């Protein structure tokens, strides 16, 4: 069986304190969505169960962002995020928030209104592409992932392949993730994502990793990670998901019918029909929620979202087929 989720991608802001050499999402021309824009976007995504909130890390380090937040009645950005999470729940969506590096208390603040959360480890070693990115120091990202485990937050992490790391670095990064999960048991999936060069960035002329390299990483990941951790391959970033499924990946992430992949807009989402065809009839494609079935059964969710999860989940913890 191979899983996926239907989502709506909500890019709250492109402001970010980090300056990663490969990122095409961050901008010095700061945009900040208004609540009515978030509501309008959610209103278009009738078939989705997941509201994917993505944005730059610590955007309110910038005065113009803080001014916009004050105008909307917020003292900081995470208050705004929490309110938008709550709005999504009221509209029938389960939030999954990728907020960058957060403290224990900040994770706890967002936990009540999120079915799951995420933070890409990327690599567990320091790399030149992160020289101007304080939030990409491995130790601070590892601390956030561990704190999420202490809070029993179903969690997504992953590695970014082809950003200057060695093969050993990749193995080490996967071992770090495996060790964290062995201690806290909260990592539901690990994304193996290849670097995709963006025009206008310092790394625009770098060669992306070959699909043969990515296949090797998926195979390594399946050997290193605990069996209850699912490997995800982004279906819009590879030419054919089938070899990756054969290599051990079992999830195709979230796809949207109404929003692009704002991080990789040059790579459109495949349709559910295309995903089914790519599995060659050898695997069943099954829709899930942003919280994996294991954690639905364990009850790793808050009272604030329990009614919605009970309505959207079937007896096995997957997405109800009659929704």
Domain ranges, ordered by start, for the chain: 2-312
Contact 100, 57 (CB under 8 A): yes
Kindly report the pTM of this predicted structure: 0.96
Average pLDDT score, the chain: 96
Q: How confident is the model at residue 322 (pLDDT cuts 50, 70, 90)?
A: low
* The predicted structure's pLDDT at residue 77: 98
* The predicted structure's pLDDT at residue 152: 98
SS3 4: strand
* The predicted structure's pLDDT at residue 258: 87
185: burial class by Cβ within 10 Å (0-12, 13-18, 19+)?
A: middle
C-alpha–C-alpha distance, residues 149 and 104, integer Å: 10
pLDDT by residue (tens digit) across 101-141?
Answer: 999 999 999 999 999 999 999 999 999 999 999 999 999 99
Q: What is the CATH number of domain 2-312?
A: 3.20.20.70
- Residues 6+ away with beta carbon under 8 Å from 103: 144, 147
SS3 79: helix
* The predicted structure's pLDDT at residue 261: 86
pLDDT by residue (tens digit) across 255-291?
Answer: 998 888 888 988 899 999 999 999 999 999 999 999 9
C-alpha–C-alpha distance, residues 133 and 175, integer Å: 23
* The predicted structure's pLDDT at residue 260: 85
* The predicted structure's pLDDT at residue 295: 98
Angle at 262 between CA 260 and CA 264, to 5 degrees: 95
Contact 163, 127 (CB under 8 A): yes
Q: Is the pLDDT of residue 321 over 90?
A: no
Question: Average pLDDT in the 80-109 region?
Answer: 98
**Above pLDDT 70, what percent of the chain?**
99
Hunting for tokens 């054919």 — which residue is that?
A: 240
**E strands in the chain:** 2-11, 50-54, 94-98, 116-118, 155-161, 187-194, 230-232, 251-255, 285-287
Lowest-pLDDT range of 3-7, 81-85, 87-91, 255-259: 255-259
Question: Average pLDDT in the 44-57 region?
Answer: 96
**Above pLDDT 90, what percent of the chain?**
94
* The predicted structure's pLDDT at residue 323: 47
Question: Average pLDDT in the 69-84 region?
Answer: 98
- Residues 6+ away with beta carbon under 8 Å from 160: 120, 122, 123, 193, 194, 195
- Residues 6+ away with beta carbon under 8 Å from 70: none
104: burial class by Cβ within 10 Å (0-12, 13-18, 19+)?
A: middle
- Residues 6+ away with beta carbon under 8 Å from 49: 5, 6, 7, 93, 94, 287, 289, 290, 312, 319, 323
- List the one residue out of 296, 300, 290, 316 whose CA is nearest residue 49: 290
pLDDT by residue (tens digit) across 149-207?
Answer: 999 999 999 999 999 999 999 999 999 999 999 999 999 999 999 999 999 999 999 99
């Amino acid at each position: 069986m191979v899983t996926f989720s239907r989502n709506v991608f909500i890019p709250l802001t492109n402001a970010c304190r980090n300056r990663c050499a490969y990122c095409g999402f961050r901008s010095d021309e700061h945009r900040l969505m208004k609540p009515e824009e978030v509501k309008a976007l959610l209103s278009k995504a009738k078939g989705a169960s997941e509201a994917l909130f993505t944005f730059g890390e610590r955007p309110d380090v910038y005065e113009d962002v803080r001014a916009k937040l004050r105008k909307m009645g917020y003292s900081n950005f995470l208050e705004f995020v929490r309110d938008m999470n709550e709005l999504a729940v009221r509209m029938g969506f389960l939030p999954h928030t990728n907020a960058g590096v957060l403290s224990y208390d900040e994770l706890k603040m967002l936990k009540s209104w999120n079915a799951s959360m995420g933070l890409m480890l990327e690599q567990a070693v320091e790399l030149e592409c992160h020289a101007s990115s304080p939030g990409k120091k491995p130790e601070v990202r590892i601390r956030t992932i561990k704190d999420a485990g202490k809070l029993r937050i179903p969690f997504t992490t992953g590695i970014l392949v082809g950003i200057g790391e060695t093969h050993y670095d990749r193995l080490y990064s996967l071992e770090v993730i495996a060790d964290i999960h062995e201690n806290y048991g909260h990592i539901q999936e690990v994304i193996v994502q290849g670097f995709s060069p963006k025009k206008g960035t310092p790394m625009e002329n770098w060669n992306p990793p070959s699909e043969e390299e990515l296949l090797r990483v998926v195979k390594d990941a399946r050997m290193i990670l605990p069996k209850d951790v699912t490997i995800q391959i982004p279906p819009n970033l590879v030419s054919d998901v089938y070899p990756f499924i054969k290599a051990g990946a079992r999830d195709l992430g979230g796809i949207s019918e109404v929003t692009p992949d704002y991080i990789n807009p040059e790579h459109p989402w495949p349709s559910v029909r295309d995903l089914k065809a790519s599995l060659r009839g050898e695997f069943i494609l099954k829709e899930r929620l942003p919280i994996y079935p294991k954690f639905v059964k364990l009850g790793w969710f808050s009272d604030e979202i329990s009614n919605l999860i009970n309505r959207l989940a079937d007896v096995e913890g997957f997405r109800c087929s009659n929704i």
